[in-house]
């Protein structure tokens, strides 16, 4: 094990970053060479007078920078310098898609084949593949028998789904009702779509049905955004 005893710079940066920064400097200056075994998390924490969690974060940061690698049961070692990047070599970098460059890491043949196949697959069809939309229609069909794959949209997450739904239901200037305490993401979507939000009173059970009628009927609201199950942020479930 290398008797590495870093002298941390006095800055406002978090301690784990200062440890990683010092490790990077020592590698660059040749004080730590490829293959050097670093102190254990517990030993370095004791040496620096910090918590083991801090050292764990520092080593994780160093690994993210490509400085070290950890092998379960053996320890943490200084790794060989990364190969010259495409940018440093003066070659163009295609940022239109995410793709691995160079040979795959040392993994099993089966996993390497699966990884190569996955990375070779282009972006999926907009709105989801036919198989995914069919599966969604089956699931939605438990509550809506009229659900068909052609009317199912596979989204990239809840925020995307809310955005798509409101974009389909409203136009700029429309009024959308929400619970008085609601998910913060609906505000950014409303601003993007230029729709107005109005709060509806809630109690310990969630949205008050009687408080909904007036703004819905008299104010001409176009939509209601409500989370009846595991409400965000209160966690309530409406009876």
The Cα 234–Cα 225 span in angstroms is 15
pLDDT tens-digit series, residues 36-75 = 889 999 999 999 999 999 999 999 999 988 999 887 778 8
Q: Could you state, in order of their start, the residue ranges of all structural domains in the chain?
A: 15-78, 125-154, 156-239
Mean pLDDT, rounded, for 149-158: 88
Is the pLDDT at 118 greater than 70, yes or no?
Answer: no
If one counts every other C-beta atom within 10 angstroms of the C-beta of residue 160, the result is 13
Is the pLDDT at 235 greater than 90, yes or no?
Answer: no
| 209 touches 202 (CB < 8 A) | no
The pLDDT mean for the chain works out to 84
Mean pLDDT, rounded, for 219-235: 87
Reported residue count of the chain is 239
Mean pLDDT, rounded, for 169-196: 92
Determine if the pTM surpasses 0.75: no
pLDDT at residue number 97 = 58
pLDDT at residue number 59 = 92
Continuous H helices in 1-79: 15-28, 41-48, 52-64
Query: Of the ranges 182-186, 188-192, 218-222, 234-238, which one carries the lowest mean pLDDT score?
Result: 218-222
pLDDT tens-digit series, residues 102-115 = 555 566 777 777 76
Burial class (CB in 10 A: 0-12, 13-18, 19+), 133: buried
The Cα 28–Cα 107 span in angstroms is 29
pLDDT at residue number 192 = 93
pLDDT at residue number 32 = 87
- 156-239: CATH topology: 3.40.640
pLDDT at residue number 189 = 94
Q: Which candidate, 24, 132, 118, places its Cα nearest to that of 79?
A: 24
Domain 15-78 top-level CATH class: mainly alpha
> What pairs with residue 223 in β-bridges?
176
Query: Of the ranges 50-54, 69-73, 147-151, 158-162, which one carries the lowest mean pLDDT score?
Result: 69-73
Is the pLDDT at 138 greater than 60, yes or no?
Answer: yes
- Region of 38 (left: φ > 0; alpha: ψ -120 to 50; beta: rest) is beta
SS3 content of the chain, % helix, strand, coil (to 5): 40, 10, 50
């Amino acid at each position: 094990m290398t008797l590495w005893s870093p002298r941390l710079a006095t800055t406002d940066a978090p301690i784990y970053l200062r440890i990683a920064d010092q490790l990077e400097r020592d590698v660059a200056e040749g004080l730590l060479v490829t293959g050097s075994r670093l102190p254990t998390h517990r030993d370095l924490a004791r040496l620096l007078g910090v918590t083991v969690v801090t050292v764990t974060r520092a080593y994780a940061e160093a690994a993210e920078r490509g400085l070290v690698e950890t092998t379960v049961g053996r320890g943490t070692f200084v790794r060989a310098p990364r190969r010259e990047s495409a940018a440093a070599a003066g070659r163009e970098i295609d940022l239109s898609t995410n793709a691995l460059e160079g040979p795959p890491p040392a993994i099993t043949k089966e996993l390497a084949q699966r990884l190569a196949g996955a990375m070779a697959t282009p972006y999926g069809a907009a709105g989801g593949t036919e198989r995914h939309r069919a599966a969604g229609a089956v699931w939605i069909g438990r509550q809506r028998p009229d659900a068909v794959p052609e009317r199912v949209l596979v989204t990239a997450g809840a925020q995307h789904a809310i955005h798509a739904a409101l974009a389909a239901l409203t136009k700029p200037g429309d009024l959308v009702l929400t619970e008085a305490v609601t998910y913060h993401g609906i505000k950014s979507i409303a601003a993007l779509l230029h729709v107005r939000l109005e709060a509806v009173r809630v109690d310990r059970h969630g949205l008050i049905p009687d408080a909904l009628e007036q703004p819905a009927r008299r104010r001409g609201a176009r939509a209601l955004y409500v989370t009846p199950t595991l409400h965000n942020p209160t966690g309530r479930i409406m009876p």
